[in-house]
Amino acid sequence: MLERFSGAISQAHQVVRRQLERRPWLIIVLFVAIAFIIFAFYSTERYLAFQTNYFDLGLNANSMWRTIHGYDSWLALILPSSPGHINHISPILGLVVLAYALVPDPRTLLVVQAGAIAFAAIPLYMIALRETQHQFLSVTVAVLFLANPALHGIIRFDFHTESFIPLLVFLMYFAYPRRSPTLFYLSLGAMLSTIEYSAVLGMGIGLALWFVKRRMDRRILGTFLGSLTLLAIIVLSTVGQAFESWNWSPNWLERQFVGSGPAFWSNTGVFLVALQNAIPAKITYLVVATAPMWVAFRRYWSRIIPAFPWMAVVIISSRYSYSNVNFQYSVFLVIILGLVTIALSVTFLYSALSPTDPNWPTGNPLATTVASIGNGLPQNATILTESDLYPQLSNRAYVSLNYSSPEPPQYILVNVDSSWYNWTSPAQGYPLSPREQVELLTSQYPYQLVLRDQGLLLYRLGLR
**Of the residues 290, 319, 350, the one at which a domain ends:** 350
What are the tens digits of pLDDT across the range 140-150? 878 888 887 77
The H or E element spanning position 413 is strand 411-415
Of 125, 132, 225, 219, give the one whose Cα is nearest residue 177.
219
In this prediction, residues 69-94 reach a mean pLDDT of 78
Residue 219 and residue 319 share a domain: yes
C-beta separation of 258 from 264 below 8 A: yes
For 376, half-sphere exposure in the C-beta direction (CA atoms, 13 angstrom radius) is 12
Domain limit, last residue, from 350, 380, 400: 350
DSSP secondary structure letter of residue 417: T
224 and 133, same structural domain? yes
Give yes or no: residues 142 and 245 share one domain: yes
* pTM, full prediction: 0.80
Q: How big is the CA angle at 97 (ends 44 and 62), to the nearest 5 degrees?
A: 65
Judge if 304 and 400 occupy the same domain: no
Most confident of 16-25, 168-177, 297-306, 356-365: 168-177
| Residue 220: per-residue pLDDT | 93
| DSSP track, 302-325 | GGGGGGHHHHHHHHH---GGGG-T
Report how many domains make up the chain: 2
The C-alpha R_g of the chain, in whole angstroms, comes to 24
Q: How confident is the model at residue 156 (pLDDT cuts 50, 70, 90)?
A: confident
Q: What is the pLDDT of residue 324?
A: 65
Pairing state of beta strands 456-461 and 447-453? antiparallel
Q: Is the pLDDT of residue 153 over 50?
A: yes
Residues 307-316, mean pLDDT to the nearest whole number: 74
Name the residue range of residue 334's domain.
26-350
Q: What is the dihedral of CA 106, 109, 110, 114, to 10 degrees?
A: 170
What percent of the chain has pLDDT above 70? 72
Is 93:194 a contact under the CB 8 Å cutoff? no
Q: Considering the chain, what is the average pLDDT of its residues?
A: 80
Establish if 330 belongs to a structural domain: yes
Taking 50 as the threshold, does the pLDDT of residue 358 lie above it? yes
Q: Using 50, 70 and 90 to split pLDDT, how confident is the model at 360?
A: confident
For residue 12, CA distances in Å to 8, 15, 178, 225, 458 come to 6, 5, 38, 54, 58
pLDDT at residue 35, as a whole number:
94
Per-residue pLDDT at 196 exceeds 60 = yes
Identify whether residues 341 and 372 lie together within a single domain. no
User: If pLDDT is split at 50, 70 and 90, which confidence band does 329 have?
Assistant: low
342 and 244, same domain (yes or no)? yes
448 within domain boundaries: yes
Q: What are the phi and psi torsion angles at 85 (to 5°)? A: -105, 180
Tens of pLDDT, residues 162-191: 899 999 999 999 999 999 999 999 999 999
Q: Which amino acid is at 365?
A: P
Question: According to the model, what pLDDT value does residue 338 have?
Answer: 38
Beta-strand ranges (E) seen in 147-267 are none
Element (H, E) at 104: none
Q: How many CA atoms lie within 13 A of 354 on its CB side?
A: 19
Report cis status (omega within 30 of 0) of the bond before 388: no
Q: Report which of residues 252 and 436 the model is more confident about.
A: 436
Q: Which residues contact 48 (CB under 8 A, 6 or more apart)?
A: 361, 363, 364, 367
CA distance 147 to 345: 9
Q: What is the mean pLDDT of residues 86-113?
A: 91
**Mean pLDDT score, 438-442:** 93
Phi, psi of 23, rounded to the nearest 5 degrees: -130, 75
Least confident of 63-77, 80-94, 152-166: 80-94
Which of the residue ranges 63-67, 264-268, 270-274, 315-319 would you say has the lowest mean pLDDT?
264-268
Task: Please check whether residues 415 and 329 belong to one and the same domain.
Answer: no
436 pLDDT tier (thresholds 50, 70, 90): very high
Residues 380 and 328 in one domain: no
CA angle 274, 275, 278 (to 5 degrees): 80
Q: What is the pLDDT of residue 73?
A: 80
pLDDT for 413 beyond 90: yes
Amino acid (one-letter) located at 25: W
Asked if residue 372 and residue 342 are part of one domain, the reply reads no
> Do the bridges between strand 456-461 and strand 411-415 make them parallel or antiparallel, or are there none, so unpaired?
antiparallel
pLDDT of residue 175: 94
**What is the mean pLDDT of the segment spanning 110-114?**
96
